[in-house]
Amino acid sequence: MRNISVILALALVAGASLSAQAAGKKDKKQGKKATTTVVKQPVALNTANDSLSYASGQALTRGMMDYVIAQLKVDTTYMADFIGGIREGLTSGVTSQQKAVEAGHRIANMVREDMLPRMKADMGKMGVKIDSLLLTRGFVDAVENDTTVFTLDKAIGYQEKEIRDIQKRIADEKRAEGKAWLDANAKKEGVKVTPSGLQYRIIREGNGAVAANDEEVEVKYEGRLIDGTVFDSSYTRNPQTTSFRPSQVIKGWTEALKMMPEGSEWEVYIPQELAYGERQAGKIPPYSTLIFKLEVVKVKKDEKPAEDAKDGKKDNKKATKAKQTPKARK
């Protein structure tokens, strides 16, 4: 609604006359720069309603130019043509043909400004360079139902198969890269390997409690990829610690947290199958081997079961007494 109001206001407060547009077109045909002559009739404001109507039209232009330039992408060099188009549409109405052309322009803008850049970015992540001209040609041919190269179904099937094949190739390469890195890392001094494939190196050995699966652990950590990219770090936050239960995190963390005594600091190397596997997780690409600097600050031993047992015992006594009371009365 606001957009429509802005456009209406634009037509009310400025513009070139249709005769000036015609003169401009004639000049263009003759190879001359088009000039626009603004012809305005005096504004007759005879009543309070007239004044309010006119003032309301002007008030609607608030923020108009930002919208026209930033959102509609209108080049200010051609503002007179833009205004003339609005004036013509409001005074003459819009034909079915014009509506069709406008719809085509909108779809073209969607392709050019949104779909194409997004597809190029997504394909670029897979190492594929999209040809903009061929993409737009394929788009127009499909709209025209031109099946010379592909039917729509075959085009969709081809695209999906190619993307699957590319993704499988990337996954295979990523898994092989991670395995090679871990194989080399396992040979380094101080690195230990568990049966699951998890690797770790003890930086500082703690002597406190070790967490059970559902006990909360307060930790500090920094996570990075094997190329050194840091994707997350509690050290950059305030407070630097955060809390998890081993049962709430990825498998590699679960295994490590259940081995680390309170006060420990380890460097943990997690194979992709013990991390996020095929999933993209924020800045972490699929099939990524992960490295964590991990400190266990505190293990919050759960004493609740003991309390529950104590409370339960009391409750049982009350229940027994309640059951015995009727008998005593008898």
Residues serving a catalytic function are 221, 231-232, 250, 276, 292
Contact 214, 302 (CB under 8 A): yes
Q: How far is CA 174 from CA 135, 170, 225, in A?
A: 29, 6, 12
Tokens of 1: 């609604």
DSSP of 6-33, one letter per residue?
HHHHHHHH----HHHHHHHHHHHHTTPP
Q: Angle, nearest 10°, between helix axes 132-143 and 152-185?
A: 150
Return the DSSP state at 52. Answer: H
Burial class (CB in 10 A: 0-12, 13-18, 19+), 199: buried
Residue 215's identity, in one-letter code, is E
List Cβ neighbours of 202 (8 Å cut-off, separation of 6 or more).
Answer: 190, 192, 264, 265, 266
